[in-house]
Amino acid sequence: MSLLVVGSVAFDSVETPFGKVEDALGGSATYFSIAASYFTDVQLVAVVGRDFPDKHIRFLKKRKIDISGLQRANGKTFRWKGKYDFDLNQAHTIDTRLNVFASFNPELPETYRNTEYVFLANIDPVLQLQVLRQVKNPKLVACDTMNFWIEKKPRELKETLKYVDILTINEAEARELSKESNLVKAARRIMTFGPEVIIVKRGEYGALMFSDSGIFSAPAYPIESVFDPTGAGDSFAGGFMGHLSRVRGVNDRNIRQAIIFGSVMASFDVEDFSLNRMKRLTAREIEDRFKEFKRLTVFEDL
């Protein structure tokens, strides 16, 4: 089973209270693909510039990610500069350079068009829809976005959301998109835009899922050494969609398990800068942490 993703492949310059990196590998589609590659076959759609080094391409290939949809264009790779203060739940964007994404015209390879599981990672909603239109018969479409697009392209984002089944979104962005401060009301309002399931990511407080069958709450794994939260949301989505694509079924039970796998992947991501933790992550560690999540939340009935 395979899983298609469109999103950013980037150079990130990030500063947290624990250190900083310059022009490190990042991007929503990169974090997503690497995380999802532990669960399923991933097909990546994105663009990079001439400045993108081969070592990053080798890393994607080593994880068996299909990069036939990764274009290389004349120009510079997307760049994001961000900063986190001691409240690591809140990223502060200092600079966003779309570069080659500004004129990106995604053209899906023929082998991608029958893919059933699709993730529209954080990128221009116009590109998200352009990619989705080329997929013949998607079974599950999930999507992510951020304040940058909520503010710059609200109309286009609402158009994309009409075709989305599941939206993953940060707490603050859920409030901004819905114009509701209460999260339950915010989720209900966003459902009227299209998605039937809303997963609100709450950083170190975990994730909340809202759907017609109720609400599910997952904690975040308590970690002592959080260094860099960049990519936690995309790693969450990678584990989440990766599991759903692997078990080939979208029902409440699988969605709940997928949320825990998403939380597992996010918890590994934050343990180091850029994708450094993912570079040494093993399948065994993922399974072990999934079990630890179960122990963290299980309790007996009265």
Residues that bind ligand AMP in the complex, under the rule CB under 6 A: 8, 10, 12, 26-28, 31, 80, 96, 122-123, 146, 148, 230-234
What is the closest distance, in whole angstroms, from the C-beta atom of residue 106 to ligand AMP in the complex?
14
CB-nearer residue toward ligand AMP: 60 or 232? 232
Strands 140-144 and 117-120, how do they pair? Answer: parallel
What is the closest distance, in whole angstroms, from the C-beta atom of residue 82 to ligand AMP in the complex?
7
- SS3 assignment, position 21: strand
Give pairs for 289-292: CB < 8 Å, separation 24+: 289/221, 289/264, 290/260, 290/261, 290/264, 292/221
Q: Assess contact for 151 and 175: CB atoms under 8 A.
A: no
What is the closest distance, in whole angstroms, from the C-beta atom of residue 133 to ligand AMP in the complex?
19
CB-nearer residue toward ligand AMP: 106 or 233? 233
Take residue 148 and report the two structure tokens written for it: 């940058």
CB-nearer residue toward ligand AMP: 25 or 192? 25
CB-nearer residue toward ligand AMP: 172 or 247? 172
What is the closest distance, in whole angstroms, from the C-beta atom of residue 12 to ligand AMP in the complex?
5
Integer Cα distance of 233 and 199 in angstroms? 11
* Nearest C-alpha neighbor of 232 from the set 146, 166, 156, 290: 146
Residue nearest to ligand AMP (CB): 26
If one counts every other C-beta atom within 10 angstroms of the C-beta of residue 257, the result is 15
CB-nearer residue toward ligand AMP: 205 or 252? 205
CB-nearer residue toward ligand AMP: 86 or 299? 86
Take residue 279 and report the two structure tokens written for it: 């570079």
Integer Cα distance of 255 and 251 in angstroms? 6
What is the closest distance, in whole angstroms, from the C-beta atom of residue 188 to ligand AMP in the complex?
23
What is the closest distance, in whole angstroms, from the C-beta atom of residue 208 to ligand AMP in the complex?
17
Integer Cα distance of 174 and 44 in angstroms? 26
* Nearest C-alpha neighbor of 42 from the set 63, 58, 26: 63
